[in-house]
Structure 1
Amino acid sequence: MEVKLIKQLAPELALYHYNDIPVLALKHAVGTAKISLQGAQLISWIPAHTEQDVVWLSEIEPFNKGEAIRGGIPICYPWFGKTGTPSHGYARLQLWQLVSYDIQADVVYLNFLLETENAESVAHIEMTFSEEFHLEFTNYCIEQEPQLALHTYFNVGDISQSEIQQLPTTTFNVLTQQQETVPPTRVVNEYVECIYPANERNVIVDTINQRTIEILHENASEIVMWNPWHNETSAMSEEGHNTMICIETARISERLAEKPVGLTIRVK
């Protein structure tokens, strides 16, 4: 992969090209992060108090313009799944603008805007980096009643030795197309794609990396959990599923209105 510095925006913030895609790189006292302007997609976040990345990114990701990036937090909007074309919406394939940033001693704010060709605002994202990470998504297309999923890929040392805790006890299993009763704590050792009714908080116990990842959902209607296991998935190696789990903050059945949808991640 070719990495080229394009512009130094501030001492802590620079813009690079990763092959065809512009990527912001943050190096700050609170930690480091990388955000692709294609999709306003967080692809790396390492808080200052941790060693491992919190989000997972495919080691074979080609960073080709116009192709979905496998990992981080893709923004599935204005639809989820195969409701339209392209799958999971166009927002993750389009360039967003970095419209403002505020770098303080103990916190960093980055603001991104998606516009139409006529410069009409479609959606806004604010990312906040401190000891925790917060993403707030605001939809401006009220008439269309779009859907949203913050399709977060979490990085774990070994998925078979990790637990996902504090899940709801009912879920729609996409693979069987059935509603099921499930335990609140799950260990993933097979292909899983489940849509849960939203609760406020989930926890990933990452045993190998000796950490817990707390996930807070704000104004979500569903939580989606996904791991493809050995099933062939674009831009993912045969072993890629061993170190990731997707826990998604979503608005699928209840469409987006004016109230923002938020995601907060804390690592302990």
Structure 2
Amino acid sequence: MPEDVFALPVDRRLGAHTTLRRVGALPVVVVTHPRVRAAVTLQGAQLLHWQPAGEEPVLWLSETTAFEEGRAVRGGVPICWPWFGAAGRPTHGFARILPWELLDVDESGVGDEAVSGDEAVRLTLVLRASEETRAYWPHEFEVFARFVLGRECRIELEAGGDFESTAALHTYLRVGDLDEVRVTGLGGPYVDKVLDTPVHAAPAAEGVAFRGRTDRVYTHPGDVSPVEDPAGKRVVEVRHEGHTDVVVWNPGADLARSMADVPDDGYREFVCVETAHVSRPLVSTPGAPARLAATLRTVPAA
């Protein structure tokens, strides 16, 4: 997303602080408020930008990604659903490449009457079963994406119907220097997808540093994964809800060079820490939808 997205022409005003604009071929909901700037594309209900006032952007978005209908956008927080990885086609599910409907924009939590520090804009989007989705997956469903965009950022996925699925909130976090980054709070056991090996039992306190291509599914993680970024002078806390796993990913130099939507050195600018439910299925039943949520929060580095 170009940095001037907040200066793009307004297609429609949705509220005092919320507008609909267009980046390439894609409509994007843009939030401009004294306490936060954010952007969510209607395709995929994908958070592209989140920036609390006075801070650098928290999410990474590729400079070379295409904003085209039906093509995945590289960066931000893609919603991987109703499957993760190569369990079906397209990879990571169809939810991230189909248009969602914007149901609600709630600005009641912003303004002079709001509690200082708690101001937020809330967005709700929905994707429902259709002829297009049935070509990928035979189930009837209704899945909601809810965003609370303020000093903290919360993303909730709610999948209703009668089926099993897997899912991940594939969060790309911008970092200052990949060599200095460490992620903790992951627990010990993990599956190494690069080496294609079964669960390891690493010491839980060590966390993970990035020394080449990294693709791990941590199967007994904690509820919070702090991402220590000394060069960025902050820690980003990723708080997980409804998860069974946390996926940690970075393509490394060789894979990045083969990816058209990642600059050759772009891999050094981000790490992915994904709130996930992949080692066991999410179970949705009538009257009991499945939920998965992540909350992002920044704190200054010690």
Match of 1:180?
A: 200
Q: Deviations over 1:91-115 (max 9, x none)?
A: 0000111100111221211001001
Match of 1:262?
A: 293
Q: Would you say 1:166 and 2:185 are equivalent positions?
A: yes
SS where residue 282 of structure 2 aligns? coil
Structure 2 residue corresponding to 1:201, chosen from 216, 224, 249: 224
How far apart in 1 are the matches of 2:21 and 2:141? 25
Q: Which runs of 5+ in 1 are unaligned?
A: none
**How much does 1:19 deviate?**
0.9
Match of 1:40?
A: 45
How far apart in 2 are the matches of 1:75 and 1:250? 10
How far apart in 2 are the matches of 1:46 and 1:162? 20
Match of 1:233?
A: 259
Q: Would you say 1:59 and 2:63 are equivalent positions?
A: yes
**How much does 1:129 deviate?**
1.5
Q: Would you say 1:244 and 2:244 are equivalent positions?
A: no
How far apart in 1 are the matches of 2:94 and 2:260? 17
How far apart in 2 are the matches of 1:201 and 1:9? 34
1:1-268 equivalences in 2 (<5 Å):
4-50=9-55, 52-103=56-107, 104-105=109-110, 106-117=119-130, 121-143=141-163, 145-178=164-197, 179-183=199-203, 184-197=206-219, 198-230=221-253, 231=255, 232-257=258-283, 258-268=289-299
**How much does 1:142 deviate?**
2.6
**How much does 1:60 deviate?**
1.1
How far apart in 2 are the matches of 1:243 and 1:16? 27
Mean CA deviation greater in 158-167 or 2-11: 2-11
Q: Deviations over 1:178-197 (max 9, x none)?
A: 22233432210200000001
Match of 1:137, as an amino acid? L
CA contact (8 A) 1:4 1:18 kept: no
**How much does 1:167 deviate?**
1.9
How far apart in 1 are the matches of 2:39 and 2:121? 13
Match of 2:166, as an amino acid? Q
Q: TM-score, length-normalised on structure 1?
A: 0.94
**How much does 1:116 deviate?**
2.3
Q: Deviations over 1:117-162 (max 9, x none)?
A: 379752001100222111111001332x011011110110111111
How far apart in 2 are the matches of 1:96 and 1:121? 13
CA contact (8 A) 2:64 2:260 kept: no
How far apart in 1 are the matches of 2:129 and 2:162? 15
Match of 1:195, as an amino acid? V
Q: Which runs of 5+ in 2 are unaligned?
A: 111-118, 134-139, 284-288
Rg larger for: 2
CA contact (8 A) 2:14 2:105 kept: no
CA contact (8 A) 2:248 2:274 kept: yes
How far apart in 1 are the matches of 2:104 and 2:158? 16
How far apart in 2 are the matches of 1:21 and 1:213? 28
How far apart in 2 are the matches of 1:222 and 1:57? 24
How far apart in 2 are the matches of 1:162 and 1:248? 16
Aligned length: 266
How far apart in 1 are the matches of 2:149 and 2:75? 19
Mean CA deviation greater in 76-85 or 101-110: 101-110
